Chains A and B, each alone.
Chain A
Amino acid sequence: MKAAIRHLKRNKGRSLLTLLAVLIPVYTLVFMFGFASANLRDMFETATGLESGHFQVREVQERATGGTLPLIDDAAPILATLDAEERVAWRTVRLDVPALASAGNRSQAILVQGVEPETVARITPIETLIVDGEYLASGTNGAVLGEELAVTLDLTVGDDVILLGVHPDAAMGVLRVPIVGIYDAPDASMGRSLIQIDLDSARALVRRPTAATAVVAMVDGVTGPWDVDVIDEVTSDISASLPAGFEIVDWRQLAPIVDSYMRILRPMLLLIAGTFFALGALVVVNTLYLSVMERTREIGLILALGSSRRRVMGMILTEAGLISGIGALYGAVVGVALIWIVEAIGGIPLPRQFADMMRALGLSGVLHLRIDTANVILSAVIMAAIAMIAALFPAWRATKFEPVEAMRYVE
């Protein structure tokens, strides 16, 4: 070990190059995975938090309803099933009713979303987007609508809006609701078309006191898309115990764009990581091979003195192990430090056009990074292991020297 350290010190330039060949891929990958991880987390949270939850229980759709979810007459059996599963962290009942909103002589086709105000906050950002008035309170007759719809219908807080429910599974219903809040929607189409009211009011609109269109649930212990296996496991178990006529729709079906993004992103990241690993390995092979060739006489001497070839191989691999280990460790430290610095200054603001695009998708206009411990460790360990594998060739080459010829070697 001591000799290996001295060998590395003897040619500082080359040792530094080898070190960098391991260090740079590791910190780049840590940074890249940090970005991808944060990005995926944001997309996943947005997708599951805006509407869908981790999964929903709905009635099996046996007939076309023009894009409207079929009515569940009584959500109680579903709630009982979900409440019996301790891995379900949270659930809420929702009733979506296509409707016509009217005020004065103006009307607009919209979606009325009946929600439980106390619990719905986890899957809707509307409470945090209120710019005038306040959010819904349970058991009170009121509605919140987007700024765009308020402009279209010329409504303000305190005015009444007439809702004409047209759910295909129910008779038409009419409801007069006072506007209690106006929200600033993340995208204009939502602002033009979504009104939230209390669940009981929505049930009155379809004249069914226990109706729902979906029970939305979140699974315990899910911190991001990397935990989808947990969701899959829970939904699989619940699916087996649900009453007949109901089905589970998971986040993949509810937010297919996130699923597609993850499916594309993962192989791309692996391809990039593989390229970095390969480049690092090539530099390690090159520099160690040069090092071995420069030390041909010395290796010849060691073999002549009676060293086993395994020991010579061990000598080269010890040097490779040292430099790979140090390079990988420092690479991980640099990568984590960079992420930490970026997050300490509040992330990297995206250019305006990109930021607007991201906000339209419900994402942040600031680029955030996330320290993913597993990825940091994996990047460092895999790079170090690949560097060691790469070092096998020069080490093997060293064992093939014939002592006499090696000692005659002229550089």
Chain B
Amino acid sequence: MSNDALIQTVALEKTYRTGSVETPALNGVDLELHAREFTAVAGPSGSGKSTLLHLLGGLDRPSSGEIFLEGTAMSGLSKDQLSRLRLTNIGFVFQAYNLIPVLTVLENTAFVLELQGIVRSERIERARKILGELGIEEYADQYPNRISGGEQQRVAVARAVVSDPSIVLADEPTANLDTTTSLDLIDLMRRLNSEKGATFFFATHDNRLLDRVNRLITLVDGEVANDELR
């Protein structure tokens, strides 16, 4: 493993089994992701983008191969250790159902900090600060169902970066958004990357977003077909 890689995957494979039917999703993916990168993984549906993100985020386990996160082999970690790793090292933005409906925007943003055991006053301060930076502080006391889908995804991004994780993994974060809102969200993520040094790795199949990334990995049939810096 190279010394400066934030994440490295080695011969990563994932095969889903339904009864006797085996469906390969990833076939020997070797990757290195570095701090401060703003990377998109693109590819058609079924190419393995979401699977790769889930494996990198410790939400699922590979069938074979290994993932190193800051030098730690993830295959050796228990479920509880993986949970702890996700909590402290990884920020997540999902395609939908990102927010907890009974918590306000502010509470959703501070939720990860609460899980980390940070005292209330500090987590509220940090959550308000990031909401302010992302221009959505006015929604702080609203519940998720009272704000738009784009605003909800902004809140999800705020929650993902509020604890300063090593990397933010976003699985098709713009899939349910219109073009303008999608571009706004990617620009927001890009700004966090350039201003705060947050590392992003997100999956998309929306070509309109790709000219905003500085690295593009293309997956086809579970294999890295292209990996280019821009």
Q: Which residues of chain A have a CB within 8 Å of any CB of chain B? A: 3, 6-7, 10, 297-298, 301-309, 311, 402-404, 407
Contact = CB atoms under 8 A, between A and B. Distances in A.
A167 to B, nearest CB: 83
B158 to A, nearest CB: 13
Contacts of A298: 97, 100-101
7 contacts: A3-B103, A3-B107, A304-B86, A307-B115, A309-B80, A402-B60, A407-B97
B20 to A, nearest CB: 20
A308 B103 contact: no
Interface residues of B, number: 26
* Best-surrounded residue of A7, A301, A402 (most CB of chain B within 10 A): A301
Contacts of B59: 304, 403-404
Nearest to B94: A407
Contacts of A6: 102-103
A3 B102 contact: yes
Contact of B102 (A7, A305, A309): A7
Contacts of B87: 305-307
B83 interface: yes
Given A6-B102, A303-B83, A304-B94, 12 more contacts: A3-B107, A10-B101, A298-B100, A298-B101, A304-B59, A305-B87, A305-B112, A305-B159, A306-B83, A307-B83, A308-B84, A404-B54
A301 B156 CA distance: 11
B211 to A, nearest CB: 30
Contacts of B85: 306
A5 to B, nearest CB: 9
B99 to A, nearest CB: 8
Task: Please classify the interface of chain A as helix (H, G, I), strand (E, B), loop, or mixed, using the class held by over half of its residues.
Answer: helix
B201 interface: no
B92 interface: yes
A302 B100 contact: yes
Contact of B83 (A301, A308, A404, A407): A308
A298 B87 CA distance: 16
Contacts of A303: 83
Contact of A305 (B54, B92, B97, B107): B92
A12 to B, nearest CB: 13
B98 interface: yes
List 4 tightest A-B contacts by C-beta distance, closest first.
A306-B87, A6-B102, A306-B86, A404-B59
Contacts of B54: 404
Contact of B80 (A3, A7, A10, A308): A308
Contact of A306 (B60, B84, B101, B102): B84
Contacts of B57: 304
Contact of A304 (B79, B80, B88, B92): B92
Contacts of B200: none
Contact of B86 (A297, A305, A309): A305
Given A7-B102, A10-B102, A306 B94 contact: no
A49 to B, nearest CB: 60
A308 to B, nearest CB: 6
B202 interface: no
A301 B98 contact: yes
* Best-surrounded residue of B57, B92, B102 (most CB of chain A within 10 A): B102
Nearest to A409: B97
Contacts of A309: 79-80, 83
A297 B96 CA distance: 10
B111 A305 contact: yes
Nearest to B87: A306
Contacts of B102: 3, 6-7, 10
Contacts of B115: 305-308, 311
A298 to B, nearest CB: 6
A301 B94 contact: yes
B205 to A, nearest CB: 18
Contact of A297 (B84, B90, B97): B97
B48 to A, nearest CB: 14
* Best-surrounded residue of A306, A307, A308 (most CB of chain B within 10 A): A306
Interface string B65-101: 0000000000000011001111110101010011011
A125 to B, nearest CB: 64
Nearest to A305: B112
Contacts of A10: 101-102
Contacts of A305: 86-87, 92, 111-112, 115, 159
